[in-house]
Structure 1
């Protein structure tokens, strides 16, 4: 018997150190924080302010664009600059979500330098933290990222 259209295939639950990359991409991918950490770049200092204080932390990780480049966007043939109609939603284990446009993530456009930090102040994280180093506030930082969903925005909508 075939499955019903529109009912997603069940997945094996993620372990506590895994992240799912899904959406309008060529193939889904699940990676472990430790595997991502093996490709981490040199540490960088990030500064931001909270409502009470200015903070500085050292983070180490992989640019978000490099991670997402591995799955390939499901673009439309013949559409001008089609990748600019995609968004990335990073979701944490506690349900906190942040949306970034593809143009922000892609170094050829906005180059917001978003990265998936695998280490924070030298400590290896269980799941990565989405960090946007150029932001003055940490509101778009997503701790314990469990899912990255890439979606084409506006298709079929009027």
Structure 2
């Protein structure tokens, strides 16, 4: 049983780090907080573009204009950071609208299938953080995750993943260039 558990954990970790096509253009990987590992390389799509990749029906690239055309939501968020407590007003599409359920490569024969997916947000500097799709889905956690395009009234050059309710801002990924969907089981 222990060997099976260890193998499952190793497989899940490998899926998070290793899925997707080989990178053609890469940005240097940045060191994240203790306990996190950025991907060895990050394929950086053209400026103003977010790549949707991984376990999707149709991987695609979305421009800032595509993201701005989705319904916009605003969230007031407060979180701790190395610079102290921060409070911001963030506006952008809900992550559930950017990655709707019908975009995921789900299996009809699995119970609560959405709970086996995660979304790895990757920044232009290689920093990354994962969120469970259950936290994105309106059918489960519905935590109001956003891909912010505007912070405190100022347009962002690249989107920022916003995770309302997080005590610390470690999963707030700035300058998002890729959202990689991963099936964990």
Please tell me the TM-score bracket, short chain as reference.
Answer: 0.7 to 0.9
* Equivalent residue number for residue 12 of structure 2: none
Partners of 1:23 and 1:119 lie apart in 2 by 26
The 3-state SS of whatever aligns with 1:88 is strand
Match of 1:97 among 107, 115, 128: 128
Residues 116 and 184 in structure 2, CA contact (< 8 A), matched pair in contact too: yes
The 3-state SS of whatever aligns with 1:112 is coil
1:11 Cα deviation from its structure 2 partner? 7.2
The C-alpha deviation readout for 1:49-88, integer Å capped at 9, x for no partner, is: 2245322111100110111017611112322122211111
Equivalences, count: 148
Unaligned runs of 5+ in 1: 1-6
Go from structure 1 to structure 2 and tell me whether the alpha carbon gap of 1:56 and 1:111 turns closer, same or farther (over 3 Å shift): same
Match of 1:63 among 56, 78, 94: 94
The alignment status of 1:110 with 2:110, answered yes or no, reads: no
* Equivalent residue number for residue 3 of structure 1: none
The 3-state SS of whatever aligns with 1:31 is strand
Go from structure 1 to structure 2 and tell me whether the alpha carbon gap of 1:56 and 1:27 turns closer, same or farther (over 3 Å shift): same
* Equivalent residue number for residue 4 of structure 1: none
Unaligned runs of 5+ in 2: 1-19, 26-43
Go from structure 1 to structure 2 and tell me whether the alpha carbon gap of 1:34 and 1:123 turns closer, same or farther (over 3 Å shift): farther
1:133 Cα deviation from its structure 2 partner? 1.4
Task: Please identify, of 64-73 and 122-131, the stretch whose mean Cα deviation from structure 2 is larger.
Answer: 64-73
Go from structure 1 to structure 2 and tell me whether the alpha carbon gap of 1:107 and 1:98 turns closer, same or farther (over 3 Å shift): same
TM-score by length of 2: 0.72
* Equivalent residue number for residue 108 of structure 2: 77
Residues 20 and 31 in structure 1, CA contact (< 8 A), matched pair in contact too: yes
Match of 1:54 among 85, 103, 115: 85
TM-score by length of 1: 0.83
